[in-house]
Every structure is written in C-alpha cells, then in structure tokens.
Amino acid sequence: MTFEYRNKQLHAEDCAIRDLVAAHGTPLYVYSHATIAANWQRFADHWPAPHKLCYAVKANSNLAILNLLASLGAGFDIVSGGELARVLAAGGKAEDVVFSGVGKSRAEMVYALEQNIRCFNVESAAELERLNDVALELGVRAPVSLRVNPDVDAQTHPYIATGLKANKFGIAMKDARGVAERAANLPGIVLCGLDCHIGSQILKVSPFLDAADRMLALIRELREQGIEIDHLDMGGGIGIPYQQEDAADVSGYLQALRKRAEAVGGLTLLLEPGRAIVGNAGVLVTEVEYYKPGVDKNFLLVDAGMNDLIRPALYQAYHAIQPVKQSAEDANLVDVVGPVCETGDFFGHARHLAAQEGDLLAIMNAGAYGFTMSSNYNTRPRAAEIMVAGSDVHVIRQREQLEDLWKGEQLMEKLR
C-alpha cells in the first residue's frame, strides 16, 4: 500500500508524513510516484499500440506529474490552451495531445494548430465552423474528432454527468450524421474520429460499454455513407473507491472495448483516464487548530480549507480522513471543518476521530481535482506539493507566499 501505518505513523511510501510536515508545513499535498506509475501501468497492460492513453490534465496538472506520465508514454487530454502549454513545458509531445472542451477560443485554436496537436475534439457545429475558418487562415487543415453525446446515464453526480442530452457537452446523436457530413466537406478540416465522454467517477463498466455500442453503430453508419472514421475516443470517467466501494474493472472494460472495436475493424482507440491515475496517489495533510465542542455537534477546526480542497463543498464528495498518528484514545463524533468564512467549508461530517489541537490528519484520495481546483479565496496561499519516491522527497511546488497573491495588482493613481 502507498499510504500505510508503520509503528502507528502514517507513511507515504517510505516517508513518514510527520517528517514531511516538519520540513514543509501544512496544508500539504503529498503524492506517491510509485502509485501513479502503477495506476498508469494498470491501463497500459491492456492497451497495446496503436491504441493511445491520453491522461486528462485537468485531474492534476503539476509539471512533475505530467513529466512522469510523459516518460511512461502518455498522451494528454487538454481543455485549454494553458493546459497545452503545461504539457509542452513538462516534456509532453504536441502530436500526442487531444484538445477537448466546449468553449475553445480562436486564440486557443491558433496556438494548438501552430503546435501541431494530434486532434481537436469538436463539441458543436459552431465550433467546427470556427475551427475551419482558423485553419484556412493559417493555411493548414485541422484534424477533428466529433464529440457525440450518446445520451447515456452514467448515474453519477449531476455536476459531473456529461453524456446526457440535457448536458452542455457534445453534439446530439440525432445531429451527429449531419455535422459529420459537413465536417467531411469543409476544406480546412480533416475528419478522423469520433469522441464521447459520459461523465466522471463511474465505477460500473456497463455505461461505458453502452456508450461504446452506440458510438460504434454510428461509425458503421458513417462508413456506409462514405465517411471514413479511423479512431474512436471513449473519453475518461473511470472512478476510484472513495468509500470502500468495489473498484472499476479496468482490465475487463478495456478488453471488452477492444473486442467490440475489432469487430468493426480499422479503428484506433483512445482513452482519457485522469482520476483513475492520480486520485488515490495523493493526500492532503492538515493540522488541527482547535477542538470545539458544541451543543448539537463537535468540530475539529483544521488549517486546510475549501480553497485547498473544494470537492466536499462542491459535490458533497466523501473523502476518508485518517489521523497521521494512530491513537488509543476514544474517538469523538466530529465534523472536520476549515477556517474559510463559509458554512460549506468542510471535509467530513460525523466522523469518528480521536484528535486534539496540534494533531495531524490526512484527507485521503486527494490526488485528483484537489490542488488543481484550489484557489486563494479568503487571501489564503495555496499549499505546497510534495512527491515521494521510496525514501526520496521532491518539492514539486513551493508553498505560495502572501506577496504572490497580489502580484499584478496595483493601486489606482490618486484622483486629481
């Protein structure tokens, strides 16, 4: 296990969390190099070339993590020009990048075309027309995969469901044929694939395969019309167990997907895993500032806040919370809350924990959508990030200083 107790002290690989805190303070993100690599290999073992894994950069975009994944052969799924710049700065290759997202700007299209990315995942007819115009202005043709909304209910949180017809993402299945015909005839577009993404934090295989069946049927229909499609991107969305659920059957899903694609023939498959690669590879360590008994409930007030990890406040997401030092003391029923001036600033309700002022807690499974969604709300510097590899410790992001927070701001000149 990556995070386990040794002599009652929680360790990350061979590093005691308490020692990391002594050197680097709290709040502190700690990631495991070995777990990221092992999670990646779990996919790669069932995904031979020419099929491609494109890590979803939005899950965790630290340069050191992107560099590690690039060294393992990863492609990258991006949703902004900024993420493309990060991938390139980390040593990733533009030709291994697919560009998703519903609102690509003209400037982002120009930048991505200039870098010669692998493919744009186009999400609307309007985007297709704009991309065609931009490509013609640059004297190139843009490689395009159409993101189709297969109207599959992934039965996940409504904020992270993306495959229903009510969602903003993708082109409706009923419109897909017409948009594909238009794409095939635009002079600045090379239509090469179809794409779908039905949501996030999905632990059952059946919704993915249901979506795949619908997409493969569409590919057959388009080929019958003379529109050649040579790749299918099934997006990401594979979840991780946050509350001891059964883990997703990754190998079963990948093998079933490959079998279905082989029956159609002539298809390269792409996947965009993110959370499944980094989610369980990180923890957020925080120090208890106060134990506050109350009339109706008791509170542990910690130094991390919703600005550091917003998932519980945003999605009512569950994260296990563990003491860094195991204790024989009786546990109290507490709410673990932060210092931010919002009632929604919490990490867990009604948790059984034995902790007092000065104790350390680890918020588990915080490697995905943790730091990458953090902010400076309440003028709070963002946490430091640490990567451990065995007994080696690497600071992969320095803790922000207060002066960093108003860099670029300036006072108005005095009115005359």
Per-residue model confidence (pLDDT) at position 164: 47
Residue 190 in tokens: 């090379």
| 4 annotated to a ligand binding site | no
The predicted model gives 28-40 an average pLDDT of 98
Residues 6+ apart with CB under 8 A from 19: none
Angstrom distances, CA of residue 254 to CA of 29, 35, 120, 121, 336: 31, 20, 23, 21, 38
User: Residue 160: what pLDDT?
Assistant: 41
| CA–CA dist 218, 178 (Å, integer) | 12
311 is in an annotated binding site: yes
Across the range 88-111, mean pLDDT stands at 97
Residues 6+ apart with CB under 8 A from 295: none
Q: Is 42 annotated as a binding residue?
A: no
> How many C-beta atoms surround the C-beta of residue 19 within 10 A?
13
Statement: residue 26 has pLDDT above 60: yes
31 annotated as a binding-site residue: no
Is residue 341 flagged as an active site residue?
yes
Strand 97-99, strand 9-12: pairing:
unpaired
Collect all residues with Cβ–Cβ distance below 8 Å to 138 and sequence separation of at least 6: 110, 113, 114
CA angle 215, 216, 220 (to 5 degrees): 120
* Active-site hit among 54, 119, 196, 341: 341
Does 231 or 165 have the greater pLDDT score? 231
Rounded Cα gap, residues 334 and 385, in angstroms: 27
Quote the pLDDT of residue 413: 83
* pTM for the whole structure: 0.94
pLDDT single digits (tens) 176-226: 999 999 999 999 999 999 999 988 889 999 989 999 999 999 999 999 999
Weakest mean pLDDT among 50-64, 250-264, 300-314, 321-335: 321-335
Percent of the chain scoring above 90 in pLDDT: 88
pLDDT of residue 307: 98
**In the predicted model, what is the mean pLDDT of residues 237-266?**
95
pLDDT bracket for residue 360 (50, 70, 90):
very high
Question: Nearest to residue 216, comparing CAs of 271, 269, 152, 260?
Answer: 260
pLDDT (0 to 100) of residue 372: 98
pLDDT of 329 reads 83
Size of the chain, expressed as the number of residues it contains: 416
Taking residues 284-310, what's their average pLDDT?
96
pLDDT given at position 409: 94
Start-to-end C-alpha separation, the chain: 66
The pair phi, psi for residue 374, each rounded to 5°, is -75, 165
DSSP string, 42-68: HHHTT--TT-EEEEEGGG---HHHHHH
Q: Is the pLDDT at 91 greater than 70, yes or no?
A: yes
Q: Is 275 annotated as a binding residue?
A: yes
pLDDT value for 200 = 86
Q: Is 273 annotated as a binding residue?
A: yes
Amino acid occupying residue 33: H
Average pLDDT over residues 230-245: 94
pLDDT of 335 = 97
Tokens of 123: 């999400």
pLDDT above 60: residue 13:
yes
Q: Which domains does the chain have, with CATH numbers?
A: 3-30+279-405 (2.40.37.10), 101-271 (3.20.20.10)
- Mean pLDDT, rounded, of the chain: 94
* Alpha carbon 199 to chain centroid, angstroms: 12
What is the phi/psi pair of residue 321, to 5°?
-125, 125
What is the spatial distance between Cα 141 and Cα 126, in angstroms, rounded to a whole number? 17
Q: Is 103 annotated as a binding residue?
A: no
Distance CA 20, CA 385 (A): 11
